[in-house]
A = this chain, B = another copy of it.
C-alpha cells in the first residue's frame, strides 16, 4: 500500500507528472479514466482554494485522456455522438459537447478540440468514451481511426496563469481566446495550448504530446512560476462547486439527461441535425425535464465529504439529493449541488439536508454559480 492508502498497480496508471506530483507532497489521489488524479497538496482543500483564487497553480490533469477520431468519416462520427451542432466549429476551437446514448442518458461530457477537418480530440471525463466511439465506428462501418494518443494535459490555473505562460512561451499566449487553442514550442517540439480548465479562475491547459517530456515540462512551468508564487494544485472541490462546475459521475450519470443538468443550450432539438438520442431528447424536451440542477446552501457547521448522496427534503417530501458539497470559506455556509424536482426549483425554497452524520441541516435552493 502506498502512503496515500490507495493500492497502487499498473492498472491505475501513473502519469508523466506523477514523479513530480509525489515530490511536491501530494496528500491523496483519486482515480479517473484508470489514471491517478491528485486530490490535495496543502493540509486542507481550503488552503488550496485560497491559493488558487489569488495566485497560480500547476495541475496534473493527465486523466483528461484524449479520444482521437481521425479519418474521412471523423466529423460525421463526432456529430453523431453529440446533440450539439459542431458544424460551425473551426480548427483551433474547443467546444463542450455532452454525449448521450439512445435513451438520452449522459455517457460523458468532454471538451471537443478540432485539430483539422478530419481530426478531433475528445478530452474526456470519467468513462471509456473510446470504447463507445470504437463500437459506433465498427458497428456502422465508418472510415475512421479511434485511438488514445500519448497526450497528457497539464493545467495552469489561477489569475496569474497568463502572465506565467507568457513569460515561459512568449506573448502570443495572450492572444489565445477563451476555449480556443494555439501552439507553443517546447524543447524543439510543438505543443497544443488551450485557454480552458476546470476552474473559474482562468488559465490554460497544455496538451503535452509526449510522455517523455513530462518532468521537463513540469519543471519549466514550475521555474517560470516561482516569480508568480506558483503552487501544486488540482481541481478544487470548493471552487468548482461555488463556480457551478459539474462532475461526470457525481452530478450526472447515465440516469440523467442533458436537460436536467442545464445543458439544454447545447442541445439541438429542432431536427436540423441527426445524432444518437435525438428522439429521446425531443420527447423529454416536450414533456419538460422532471428535475433540474440547482445549488443548495445549508448550515449546521462545515459538512463532511459527500461520499454518498444526501437527501434534500422540503418538509416530508424528498425533492433531490446532494451529490457534491463543501464548506465555502468565503460564503461561510455549506454549498452543494443537487437535482431538484419541478415545483421546488426557485431560489430561496426552504429545504433540509440530511448529511451522512444524520442531522437535518436547514438550507435553501440557490441559483448557480453561487458567487
For the complex formed, measure the closest distance between the CB of A253 and the CB atoms of chain B, giving whole angstroms: 9
For the complex formed, measure the closest distance between the CB of A4 and the CB atoms of chain B, giving whole angstroms: 5
B-chain residues with CB within 8 Å of residue A170 when the two chains form the complex: none
A12 within 8 A of B: yes
Chain A 30-41 near chain B by CB (<8 Å), digits 1 or 0: 110010000110
- Number of copies of this kind of chain in the complex: 2
> Among the listed stretches A46-54, A129-137, A200-208, A347-355, which one makes contact with chain B, having 4 or more residues with CB under 8 Å of it?
A129-137
Task: Say which residue of B8, B11, B247, B249 sits within 8 Å of A305 (CB atoms).
Answer: B8
A127 within 8 A of B: yes
**Distance of A344 Cα from B247 Cα, bound (Å):** 47
- Report, as a range, how many residues of chain A touch the other chain: 35 or more
A31 touches B10 (CB 8 A): no
A2 within 8 A of B: yes
A315 within 8 A of B: no
For the complex formed, measure the closest distance between the CB of A186 and the CB atoms of chain B, giving whole angstroms: 24
A248 within 8 A of B: yes
A134 touches B101 (CB 8 A): yes
B-chain residues with CB within 8 Å of residue A248 when the two chains form the complex: 11
Pull 30 A–B residue pairs with CB atoms less than 8 Å apart, ordered by A.
A1-B27, A1-B28, A1-B39, A2-B307, A4-B5, A6-B31, A7-B30, A8-B305, A9-B249, A9-B305, A10-B249, A10-B250, A10-B307, A11-B126, A11-B247, A11-B249, A12-B30, A31-B31, A101-B138, A102-B134, A127-B128, A128-B128, A131-B131, A131-B135, A135-B136, A135-B137, A136-B136, A136-B139, A139-B141, A139-B142
New A-B contacts (6) at CB < 8 Å, excluding given A2-B307, A135-B138: A7-B40, A9-B30, A12-B31, A135-B139, A136-B138, A137-B139
